[in-house]
Chains A and B, each alone.
Chain A
Amino acid sequence: MKEQNLTKTRNVILTGVGGQGNVMASRALAHMLVDAGYVVTIGETFGMSQRGGSVMSHLRVSPDSVKSPQIPRGGADVIVGLEPLEALRVLTVYGNPQVCVLYNSRPVYPIGVITGELSYPSGETIRNAFERLSSRYWEIDATSVGLKLGNPVLSNIVMIGALAKTGLLPFDRRSFEKEIKKTLSVGKYKINLKAFDAGADMIK
């Protein structure tokens, strides 16, 4: 898939659980797109919700104007899930038959599931739901890649690398490299670039 220029607003939702690096990933993505000349609006839900709760960033990439920091229901073009259940939760509110989904397969169990009061849908059930309710989806074991690289939190960058490869948004390795050079130390920069490449390799 080739990188493209956007002519109309593209709505992206990044979602996960507090502590997975959702906010960092969405801001890195947004900075790249602002540098590419787009008008970007991000709406973030964090604060108290970072304490083990669901976290969500709405990213709106427009060729010309500022948008509402909340995407209307049924209005997502791309969903990036750092956790499968959260990707599915977002899909049921913001999904539509055209939506594309990229999700990390590693679950983070809600407390209600741990205590036994609630049950977590199986990997198969989740996969089937994406099969039916999206136009295209990619399931990636990003946490395992992060663990292999030494830190599970790198899964967010693995997902960004994968997203770049899908061509759903106009950014690439070069823009990522430029972005993290500005913000990260040399050691962190290298490992983040590795995570990005590993993610890109997972999209065939």
Chain B
Amino acid sequence: MSKLLSSDKSTVLFLGNEAIARGALEAGIEVATGYPGTPSSEVIESLAGVARERNLYVEWSVNEKVALEVAAAASFAGLRSMAVMKQNGVNVASDFLLHLTASGTRGGIVLVSCEDPGALSSVNEGESRYFASMLEMPLLEPADFQEAKDITKWAFELSEAIGNVVMLRSVTRMSHASGNVTCGKLPTKRRKASFQYDGPVMDSQTGPMISTPVVAKHLLRQQRLKDVQRMFDESPFNRYTGPAKPQLLIITSSACFLYSCEAVEMLGLEKKVGILKLATTWPLPSKLLEKTLRKTKKILIVEEVMPFLEENVKVMVTGIVDRIGIKTFFGKYDGTLPSVGELNPDIVADAVGRILKVKRKSLPADYQTDVQKTAALIPVREQTFCAGCPHRASFWNIHNAIALDGRKGFVCGDIGCYSMAALSPATGYHTMPTLHSMGSGTGLAGGFAKLGQFGLDQPILTVCGDSTFYHAVIPALINAQHNRADITFIVLDNAGTAMTGFQPHPGLSVSALKDVVPAVDIAAICKAIGAKVAISDPFDLAATGRILTSFLADKGSLKVLILRQACALSPEKKGKKTFDIKVDEALCLGDACGCNRLCTRIFRCPALTWDRDKKKAVVDEVICAGCGVCASICPQQAIVKTEVITPG
């Protein structure tokens, strides 16, 4: 049995994302949708794993906007549903979200946004909480694993009570952290789906689901938000702990609550510092805040990414300052806390220490000095493509074609593991100088390609992964073809959404529920658009190189090259070597070769290392994935590949 279906009252270790999934199950969710993105993916993955047993419909949607639309349909039909995404996914979904919060909803619907302070697995430090205030929808932020479950469950009730979407915000240190969770009951009753639409226009239960009459519905949404505020004032998830008259009041939410508790404990200030933990951060629980703010004059607001809480608390205080007196605020605005990056207990402890002039107990001075000296000896570990990664071979091909062409061509980048080519430029052989949102590489390439009349004479290339192709590339590709943009568009097709854990996408014939489904063929779409299409294996350097060189020379049209080779970590490939790779020491000339250590200095595969004593290349058998590409690049043919025959 799945851990997610543990019995009532049992205590289990859940990942924050699993706790959210369990909360949804306890609420009796019927439909769950999402698009993979770290740190959100495990919510949908774990629900998909129990979908059969719990009779759920779970899908990996083509993108976040469609995910929210599919979830909303379930809500309109009276079911409970959830759409899950990472922070920038909310941007993608936002156009529909704006209209959805205007039309209102029926069955409980929760939008889960898992954010990534410090951009540990992102190319942005996005913040979606402002959508909650902008679109006037309730915002909940669980502060531990038990709350992640309990608050998710509550979010569905809240959504039904106000007839609108509720947003739940998690962060990496909640979604990708784990802790004890005591389970509640899983419901046995199922709802029946039915969509009523012939009632009065202002009747949210029976009328049409539209945002008009706009002003009247807008007013209704605001009135309901006032009801929400009253519920939030009473919510047991908002909690003050600390002395009756603290010297400093910390107001915080989410994982920052755990950092704050730890900081106060580290400094031994439990009798001097109070903590108000808010689980409901929009609308703010004004009565509770007023009561708590009366306790002291100094307030520190601890939160990650943007100063959302700080701004809203300050705005609220300006309206009641005559009742509660003048306060001094510390937070991101005055620089007490950093305005960027993720927080941790140390940063919070240092901030509290500075405000109250308390010093932390430190390690012995000689230990610290030794640590600093030792740290200086430790080389950084740069991120790179894995051993056997098809992207390394693809970028090797791209680099060589651009170099042969000689007109300073470049690649407009996109989002996936191949983003590494931009994040760590030597990994992509310095070919990919732009990186923005999903699909934007193709849009940018189409734009660059139209700059010929202003003198731009550089070949324009762009890459995207197979999942990204469906997510947001298709409109940009159609735009490029229709406007005669001369670009070489390369699909790095590694047969799955590799970066986030091999979730299926529309190009595969399997769904989230492991059903056999129609695969939508990338080549067929590109051909239908009217592009020239070629398919190659990136590990075949000669064939791929020929196609790329001819594409760069072929001016005036949209060319598509699909590079197909499964990810080295994919379940079908992982741990299986195609080739055994060895360096023939007699053939490797080392420094005397004249290749200038092409294999280890330039190719940069983590499995191909340099023996400093022998001054020759050597393959690390533990790390080598046996792709065999390095054998094609050695001018001495000193890297020897032998096909591995697997029995059976």
Contact = CB atoms under 8 A, between A and B. Distances in A.
Contacts of A91: 371, 374
B367 A42 contact: no
B622 A147 contact: yes
Interface stretch (A70-78, A157-165, A167-175, A191-199): A70-78
A72 B173 contact: no
B604 A47 contact: no
Q: In the complex, which of the residues B177, B344, B597 has the most CB atoms of chain A within 10 Å of its own CB atom? A: B177
A34 B12 contact: yes
Interface in B303-354: 344-346, 349
Given A43-B173, A48-B38, A121-B377, A152 B622 contact: yes
A27 B178 contact: yes
Interface in A36-73: 39-49, 51-54, 66-73
Contacts, number: 189
A114 interface: yes
Contacts of A85: 378-379, 381
A116 B13 CA distance: 43
Nearest to A110: B381
A115 B177 contact: no
A128 to B, nearest CB: 9
A68 B261 contact: yes
Contacts of B38: 47-48
A87 B569 CA distance: 25
Interface string B380-419: 1111111000000000000000000000000000000100
B378 A151 contact: no
B180 A67 contact: no
Given A42-B178, A43-B173, A118 B379 contact: yes
B39 interface: yes
B62 to A, nearest CB: 22
Contacts of A132: 370
Contacts of A96: 363, 367
Nearest to B174: A69
A93 to B, nearest CB: 8
A41 B179 contact: yes
Interface in A128-159: 129, 132-133, 143, 147, 151-153
A114 B420 contact: no
Q: In the complex, which of the residues A17, A66, A119 has the most CB atoms of chain B within 10 Å of its own CB atom? A: A66
Interface string B592-611: 00000100111010101110
Contacts of A129: 374, 377
B11 A52 contact: no
A48 to B, nearest CB: 4
Interface string A88-108: 110111011100000000101
B525 interface: no
Contact of B39 (A19, A31, A47, A68): A47
B121 A49 contact: yes
Contacts of B382: 52-53, 110-112
Contacts of B597: 115-116
A42 B179 contact: yes
B580 interface: no
B230 interface: no
Nearest to A23: B176
B449 interface: no
B242 to A, nearest CB: 16
Interface in B494-551: 499-500
Contact of A66 (B173, B179, B623): B179
A73 B372 CA distance: 13
Contacts of A74: 362-363
A120 interface: yes
B29 to A, nearest CB: 25
A125 interface: yes
Interface in B622-648: 622-623
Interface residues on B, range: 35 or more
Contacts of B374: 88, 91-92, 129, 133
Contacts of B261: 68
Contacts of A31: 13
Contacts of B364: 97
Q: In the complex, which of the residues A43, A112, A147 has the most CB atoms of chain B within 10 Å of its own CB atom? A: A43
A108 B606 contact: yes
Contact of A48 (B145, B362, B383, B601): B383
B231 interface: no
Given A41-B178, A66-B144, A49 B379 contact: no
Given A68-B259, A111-B606, A47 B120 contact: yes
B383 A44 contact: no
Interface in B134-190: 144-146, 172-174, 176-180
B177 A69 contact: yes
A69 B174 CA distance: 8
A109 to B, nearest CB: 5
Contacts of A17: 381
Contacts of B381: 17, 52-54, 85-86, 89, 110-112
Contacts of A66: 144-146, 179-180, 258
Nearest to B364: A97
A184 interface: no
A51 B344 contact: no
Contacts of B427: 111
A30 interface: yes
A17 B173 CA distance: 20
A53 B381 CA distance: 6
Q: In the complex, which of the residues A70, A91, A111, A153 has the most CB atoms of chain B within 10 Å of its own CB atom? A: A111
Given A45-B176, A46-B121, A69-B177, 12 more contacts: A41-B179, A43-B173, A46-B176, A49-B121, A49-B383, A67-B258, A86-B381, A92-B375, A111-B606, A116-B600, A121-B378, A133-B371
14 contacts: A39-B180, A42-B179, A43-B176, A43-B177, A47-B39, A74-B363, A89-B378, A92-B371, A96-B363, A96-B367, A116-B597, A143-B622, A147-B622, A152-B622
Interface of B: 11-13, 38-39, 120-122, 144-146, 172-174, 176-180, 255, 258-259, 261-262, 266, 344-346, 349, 362-364, 367, 370-372, 374-375, 377-386, 417, 420, 426-427, 499-500, 569, 575, 597, 600-602, 604, 606, 608-610, 620, 622-623
List the 7 shortest-distance A-B pairs measured between CB atoms, nearest first.
A47-B121, A69-B177, A118-B379, A47-B38, A92-B375, A68-B258, A110-B381
